[in-house]
Amino acid sequence: MSSGALFLAVFLACVVEAVEALTIVLAAGTSRDWRSAITGVIAGVMVLAVIVVVLGPAVTAIPLGGLRLVVGGLLLIFGLQWLRKAILRASGLKALHNEEAIFATELIAARAAPVDRRGVVADWYSFTLSFKGVVLEGLEVVFIALTFGANQRNIPLAAVAALAAVVLVAGVGVAVRAPLARVPENTMKFVVGIMLTSFGIFWGGEGAGAVWPGADAALLGVVPAVAVFALVLVVVLRRATAESSAPGPAGGGAVRS
């Protein structure tokens, strides 16, 4: 259960973030300069790799009890943030993540920016846009992979899940050469939010000294319970929204987070 959940959570989170990064890189590459955009991607991946290389061993060196207390708490706070946004999207109170709309917005901004050569980078705008996209989206994946991997004492499995997701998205992106709008990102974000919250509850509780009935098997109860609770909240919010006199859902806009 735990290894499978570790792989699933990291893989799904990484697919979602990689799709978002791909949209930004595509906008930079297609509208301006591919070489600068790809240089930005490589630089971004290198920064993320350095963070993993530095933080990975440091995190695994922390005793498991302390690690679960700190990381469990952080994961729960972080997971509730994801789940909250996912519930708001599912209930129509927050704009759904729309890669095509984001791509169009980035394209307009990219076309309007002036060309600026710096050192070996022919187009600084393309470089920084891609670099920021990869680093900012990748940081969430690094956080999830390190926290899940360290708690399970299996960072290599988390790394494999992240790498598999990046290779998959990059491969499809190269083949399609368009934003991956058909990926069910909003549903995947919902699932990741459930996983982060559930594992945050479990590890945070253990780290603070709680003993779960059934030990690790308690996760088989916690994950579905969080999922059901989140779905109930979606239904309640949808009804409340429908009953209120407020204007309709905020769908259609382009959001990043």
Which of 76, 183, 188, 194 binds other proteins (CB under 8 A)? It is 76
Least Cβ distance, residue 174 to other proteins (angstroms): 29
Question: Does residue 247 interact with other proteins by CB under 8 A?
Answer: yes
Question: Does residue 192 interact with other proteins by CB under 8 A?
Answer: no
Strand-pair partners of 118 = 121
Which of 114, 174, 243, 244 binds other proteins (CB under 8 A)? It is 244
Least Cβ distance, residue 257 to other proteins (angstroms): 8
Least Cβ distance, residue 218 to other proteins (angstroms): 7
Token pair 């955009």 in the structure block, residue: 37
Question: Does residue 204 interact with other proteins by CB under 8 A?
Answer: yes
d(CA 143, CA 165): 15
157, two tokens: 């499995």
Token pair 């301006």 in the structure block, residue: 32
Question: With contact defined as beta carbons under 8 Å apart, do 133 and 21 qualify?
Answer: yes
d(CA 97, CA 57): 34
81, two tokens: 């943030």
Contact positions with other proteins (CB under 8 A) in 153-182: none
Contact positions with other proteins (CB under 8 A) in 78-107: 78, 80-81, 83-84, 87-88, 93
Question: Does residue 34 interact with other proteins by CB under 8 A?
Answer: no
Of the candidate spans 53-61, 160-168, 179-187, 193-201, the one that interacts with other proteins by CB under 8 A turns out to be 193-201
Site map 118..157 versus other proteins, x via CB under 8 A: ---------------------xx--x--------------
Question: Does residue 197 interact with other proteins by CB under 8 A?
Answer: yes
Beta-carbon contacts of residue 206 (< 8 Å; ≥ 6 apart): 68, 72, 212
Least Cβ distance, residue 60 to other proteins (angstroms): 20
Beta-carbon contacts of residue 100 (< 8 Å; ≥ 6 apart): 179, 181
Which of 53, 108, 109, 210 binds other proteins (CB under 8 A)? It is 210
Which of 74, 113, 122, 255 binds other proteins (CB under 8 A)? It is 74
Question: With contact defined as beta carbons under 8 Å apart, do 174 and 67 qualify?
Answer: no
Question: Does residue 237 interact with other proteins by CB under 8 A?
Answer: yes
Binding interface with other proteins (CB under 8 A): 69, 72-74, 76-78, 80-81, 83-84, 87-88, 93, 139-140, 143, 197, 200-201, 204-205, 207-213, 218, 222, 225-226, 229-230, 233, 237, 240-241, 244, 246-247
